[in-house]
Structure 1
Amino acid sequence: MKGRTVLYTGAAGGLGFETTLLMIDRGATVIAIDYNRDKLAALEQAALGRGPGRLVVSDADLGDLAAYRAVLERLLAETGGFDIVINNAGIYPSKPFEDFTLEEYQAVQRVNVDAGVLAVQIGLPGMKSRGFGRIVNISSITVSGGWENLSPYVASKMTLIGLTRAWAREFGPAGVTVNAIAPGAFPTDAEKIHPDPEGYERMVLDAQAIKRRGHAGDIANTIAFFTSDEAGFITGQTLHVNGGWTMN
């Protein structure tokens, strides 16, 4: 990944942290976007002394699309363009469908989908001009069914799969691939919404064919492959990284 510039949203979170460090180790410049300044500071500390790539951090509220556009345009000018865009950031409010207001539903779509659309719109012209681009959308195992009280989140993550296919068809002639990853159950902050953590972990292990919890490195390695030159003939696909919980 030497010489590549990566725009990565949610880069300081549970699944993004390890991927960011792996890409720096492989020579990429990683622009880490996250709303949590404490997590960004921890990522900066972890990246000290690593290389040959480098880390650029920027806190941003993806729910404010006008402000986010300004951040992206500044970063584009400063770095010369994005070779890789990873749409990973997401919010996941949980309650029964009828309790969500339309405004709450739209807020989830704004962060989980619209911010990704904006990043691709801004990064795509440079990818086309260089004849190379990699876009990875992070979806979720929840699109397979079996989870309740997460309807706006599930809708947003399925939308990313649809966009993956549409973009792959449209951008392919320019040398840009688009793929999605649907992680299974990983022990990150997202699991804190479950009222019985021990019971949830037992349920996860019972459902998986592989009897261990997933770890961030499982996702980091998958992203590293999709964004590599070796994956240049793979596009429009959704890879489920879930220990065999669901099989496709």
Structure 2
Amino acid sequence: MSSLKGRRILYTGASGGLGHRTTLDLLNAGAEVYALDRDHSKNEALLADTPAPLQSQLHLIEADLADQPGLQSLLAQLTVDRALDAVINNAAIYPSKAFEEYSLPEHAQIHAINVEAALICTLAALPGMRKQGWGRIINVTSITLSGEWENLAPYIQSKGALLGLTRAWAREFGKWGITVNAIAPGAFPTDAEKIHPDPEGYSAMVLDRQAIKRRGHAGDIAAAIRFFLSEEAGFITGQTLAVNGGWTMQ
């Protein structure tokens, strides 16, 4: 797979359960990663796990994606001199309760972080990508779009919006050499699973539904992201890669 040496990558949720491993892989591949995450302790853990020779390539940015003016200002500074080569829209929140228990402000907050932040990041990167005639945008969606989950309606709605944007952006941006694709992770053992009251029972349920009888790990997602960022994936756009051990198949 081609090197990412010199590529500037904006990655939201970069210090989380799936982002941590991927960020390290991108750094090892030569990329310069602008890691946006609001969790200070996870950012510190990511920095501690980054080998000293690679730390100059890692730019940790603690930012609240719900602060849209602040996010726009930050991104303007990142793109003033050099283009961003890739954007990975990964950050999301996932409160769980019955649909009727969500307030309208809660719906708005989930949409702001899961969708509108992706809009802002993409808008910031687009002019530079257009000018250089090359870019990669990856939206992280979810297996929950398959319809097998309840009590996550606003989260699932937000991931559906990202899927629609993946296809719309792919159609619009392709003429500038920009590809836009989605990765739909299955059920991975990250902090997201803490919303389940019976972790062992949930894990058994996951393995029962998967064709591959092991739990997924962050390296599985990292490999998919590396592929979509590569030159080898330059003729693939508007697609969703399901990384779920064969839980759902297309």
Q: What TM-score comes out, normalization by structure 1 length?
A: 0.97
Per the alignment, residue 13 of structure 1 pairs with: 16
Per the alignment, residue 81 of structure 1 pairs with: 83
Instruction: Give the whole-Å Cα distance in 1 for the aligned partners of 2:128 and 2:246.
Output: 37
Q: Any residues of structure 2 matched to 1:14-33 within 5 Å, and which?
A: 14-33=17-36
Q: Is residue 35–residue 59 contact of structure 1 (8 Å, CA) maintained in 2? A: yes
Structure 2 unpaired stretches of 5+ = none
Q: Give the drift of 1:81.
A: 2.1
Structure 1 unpaired stretches of 5+ = none
Q: Give the drift of 1:233.
A: 0.1
Of 60, 65, 68, which residue of structure 1 is paired with 2:71?
68
| Alignment of 1:104 onto 2:99 | no
Instruction: Give the whole-Å Cα distance in 1 for the aligned partners of 2:55 and 2:110.
Output: 36
Q: What TM-score comes out, normalization by structure 2 length?
A: 0.97
Per the alignment, residue 132 of structure 2 pairs with: 130
Letter in 1 for 2:160: M
Q: Please provide the CA RMSD for this pair.
A: 1.1
Per the alignment, residue 232 of structure 2 pairs with: 230
Aligned length: 247
Instruction: Give the whole-Å Cα distance in 2 for the aligned partners of 1:17 and 1:118.
Output: 22
Secondary structure at the aligned position of 2:159 is classed as: helix
Per the alignment, residue 51 of structure 2 pairs with: 48
Q: Residues 122-160 of structure 1: CA distance to partner in whole angstroms, max 9, x if unpaired?
A: 100000100100000000000011100000000000110
Q: Give the drift of 1:109.
A: 0.4
Secondary structure at the aligned position of 1:121 is classed as: helix
Q: Is residue 33–residue 60 contact of structure 1 (8 Å, CA) maintained in 2? A: yes
Identity %: 59
Instruction: Give the whole-Å Cα distance in 2 for the aligned partners of 1:243 and 1:48.
Output: 30
| Alignment of 1:178 onto 2:160 | no
Q: Give the drift of 1:68.
A: 1.1
Q: Give the drift of 1:182.
A: 0.3
Q: Using the TM superposition, name which of 232-241 and 52-61 deviates more.
A: 52-61
Q: Residues 31-50 of structure 1: CA distance to partner in whole angstroms, max 9, x if unpaired?
A: 00001011111111111324
Instruction: Give the whole-Å Cα distance in 1 for the aligned partners of 2:61 and 2:74.
Output: 8
